[in-house]
Structure 1
Amino acid sequence: MKLIGIEEHFLTPEVKDAWSTIGLDAADPSVAFHGGPLAKRLADLAEERLALMDETGLDVQVLSLTTPSLHDLGPESVELTRRANDAVAEAIARHPDRFQALATLPVAMPDEAALELERCVRTLGFKGTMLCGRVGHRNLDHADLLPIFKSAAALKAPILLHPRAPEKAVRDAYYSGFSPQVDAAFSCFGLGWHYDAGIQFLRLVLAGHFDRFPDLQVILGHWGELVLFYAERIANMDRVSGLAHPMATYFRRNLSVTASGIYLPHYLEQAARIVGHDRLLFSTDYPYQYRPGRDARRFLENCGLDKAATQGFAHGNWERLIAGLPQPA
């Protein structure tokens, strides 16, 4: 059974240098997480990555630039984005059966970002895009960023909402007071990342993006970035939201959920209960959650779904989600 991982990351040396140039490590503690052994795996788009895919049982990786992507760069990100996307397109051309991609966008320049998404889909054959939370101090529902969502909806290109570190004021208020290492972990992969990503999705719902663009499709990793576990509580906002539909409708119509390497069947069951089996997607969150021993394939084989639902989870739901994309020129 073909197994596609839709949240699998890379990082180019040029992007890493751009982060360093603007001193992003001082504002975003997650920048420091991309060094050491992870740096080599993030940079490699060839034989080592393919070998580790084979080892864990993954047939296809959908590549995306790791968090915080280019959300903190200004006009200089336009050309940087094009070069990153072109580099990934070259890797796909070398291994078309093993790699797909989500577009990197110059999100601080929304009109240019919308055009780059169109180029990536229509010319390079990419399958959507990934956004990493806030753009500077703007949440994703900010009116300035509407061109990106309008373009994605028109292209039928899904958007993966990836976590990023909360703002410094939030980190100081809720995630500080321990050692620097604990503070950074607590505010990022320990918990803060996931609250931030889930909140970004809820902001898009409450801002009316899915009423404005009913076909817009969003993906949350890590089994729904916490919000699925509070879906019943979140539904109480129906009394005040003023939206066209109940909150539950947007969970089942506009949201898909992926594993991100968290291989827990009871999380899968909860996600299926809220969004439906046809909106479950597989991912390993490479290289962050990589574990040896055919880990991905073993979870698929023991996830508890029937054959049809397992096929959907493994590849069919993703293929259906991207079926409406324009064919590359």
Structure 2
Amino acid sequence: MTLLPDGSEKGLRGHAEERGIRTRIGMAPPAGEVDRNAPYKRIATEEAWTFPDLVKAQLDYLESGEGPDDASLGMAGMFASMPKLQGMLQDIGEGRIAHMDEYGIDRQLLLLTSPGVQVVRESEGTALARQANDLAAESCNRWPDRFSALAAFDPRDVKGSVQELERANTTLGLNGAVLNSHFQGRYLDEPAYEPILEALEALDAALYIHPTAPYNGQHYKDRGLFGALGGFPHDVWLHTMGLIFSGAFDKYPKLRLVIGHMGECLPLHLYRFDWMQSNADGIPGFRGGQPAVTLKYPVSHYFRNNIWITTSGVGWEPAIKFCMDVMGPERVLYAMDYPYQQSSDELAVYDNIGISAEHKKMLMQTNAENVFRLPKSV
């Protein structure tokens, strides 16, 4: 099943037409049935969820007219109008597990979906993050073999974020943190938010930056590109490169960052990033007049030492192989992107991808276990 923007499902004929298109443009065609006896566990690492109080808070702020001109807040309203999507997002129990069984997914890593807690009224964000983390931990404790989760936080409240990250990753036993990219036009590379990065490194908690619609993204909306076709990857691109050029990974060398959707195409540009590094490296005045930052290494170094990527939404063998080649097979993790994108055909592609058995198990299972400190499977 593929969920369409109106919340409906694509029929069998639509899938057949899509498969024909995929074959014509050179993408990997469907590869048959999912292997029910695969010699690895399938851990899906970018699987979305939400809960009613958060949806209500987002809608209340949007409809009040008091919020900023933020396309990601508007996106919350769009998602809230899709009852089928909301039903799937808000089920972090037996219904979700049934879908996991259908597709052969052994474990989901739950990420509070975009736009998350960072678009509600600032006074409400941290309380909603706490509620989200309590709900996620409850599901993880009830189904410990099926769910793990990343902690939500609202970076607009720096002190509250540090406290909640500590609580969620120690007391609740969650497995890292998720941020839905910008927060009303701000990014973690700005000096005010450094305590959050410091806390993440101290907790050994990987940070997953998930996409959201760009701030003031009318030029994207005017072209139908504010989502996955443009705005989503571009905003994560800005956030990731901003963190690199801020010197965050030099100051916090054990800080771990994960980005999805085949690294939002960033691995394809590593050669050019290194070549053009002097455009931003060592130049004062960025981020509101900050002193110059000179990186210790080429940009590509950070992609091979501090950054991991997931395959969410890109079940395409050439791209997967390329990223494993340029970043290392230990830095690429499988993700489905449930419930926004789901397909047994896509899963079968992973089962049949032309890589070694060792690297396939790393892709589907052990890389996720290592990066997110998940329970080890046999």
Query: TM-score, normalized by length of structure 1?
Result: 0.91
Please point out which of 105, 109, 118 is paired with 2:157.
Answer: 109
How far apart, CA to CA, are the structure 1 residues paired with 2:202 and 2:374? 10
The question of 1:322 aligning with 2:369 is answered: no
Q: CA deviation at 1:245?
A: 0.7
Name the structure 2 match of 1:175.
220
Match of 2:231 in 1: 192
Q: Does 1:310 align with 2:357?
A: no
2-side partners of 1:106 and 1:210: how far apart?
A: 21
Aligned-residue offset at 1:106: 2.1
Q: 1:176–1:11: structure 2 CA closer, same or farther, 3 Å change rule?
A: closer
The structure 2 residue matched to 1:261, chosen from 313, 316, 322, is: 313
Q: Which residue of 2 aligns with 1:147?
A: 195
Mapped contact 2:69–2:215 kept (Cα < 8 A): no
> Is 2:208–2:259's contact at 8 Å kept on the other side of the alignment?
yes
Correspondence for 2:257: 218
1:27 aligns with 2:70: yes
Cα RMSD (Å): 1.8
Output one character per residue of 1:30-86: Cα deviation in whole Å (capped at 9) or x when no partner: 221352311100000111100110111110001011011111231222222111111
User: Which residue number corresponds to residue 15 of structure 2?
Assistant: none
Q: 1:289 matched to which residue of 2?
A: 341
Q: Which runs of 5+ in 2 are unaligned?
A: 1-39, 282-293
Distance in 2 (alpha carbons) for counterparts of 1:59 and 1:258: 17
Q: 1:250 aligns with which of 286, 302, 307?
A: 302
* Equivalent residue number for residue 2 of structure 1: 41
Please state if 1:156 is matched with 2:204: yes
- Deviation sequence 1:179-229 (CA, Å, 0-9, x none): xxxx3xx11122111111111100000000000100101011000112112
1:54 matched residue in structure 2: 101
**Residue 96 and residue 18 in structure 1: after superposition, are their counterparts in 2 closer, same or farther (change >3 A)?**
same
Q: Which amino acid aligns with 1:53?
A: M
Matches of 2:313 and 2:102 in 1, distance apart?
15
Please name the residue that 2:36 is paired with: none
Contact 1:9-1:65 within 8 A present in 2 as well: yes
Distance in 2 of aligned mates of 1:324 and 1:60: 10
Alpha-carbon contact 1:56-1:295 (below 8 Å) kept: no
CA contact (8 A) 2:313 2:337 kept: yes
Corresponding residue of 2:118? 71
CA displacement at 1:25 relative to structure 2: 10
- From 142, 156, 168, the equivalent of 1:120 is 168
Kept in 2, the 8 Å contact 1:9–1:286? The answer is yes
Structure 1 runs of 4+ with >6 Å offset = none
For 1:299, the equivalent position in structure 2 comes to 349
Q: Which amino acid aligns with 1:47?
A: E
Q: What is the distance in 2 between the residues matched to 1:48 and 1:39?
A: 13
Question: Which entry has the higher C-alpha Rg, 1 or 2?
Answer: 2
Supply the AA of the counterpart residue of 2:241: L
In structure 1, the residue corresponding to 2:48 is in which secondary structure?
A: strand
Kept after mapping to 2: 8 A contact 1:157/1:322: yes
Unaligned runs of 5+ in 1: none
Contact 2:117 2:126 in 1 (8 A): no
| AA of the residue aligned to 1:89 | A
Match of 1:81 among 112, 121, 129: 129
SS at match of 2:358: helix
AA partner of residue 113 (structure 1): S
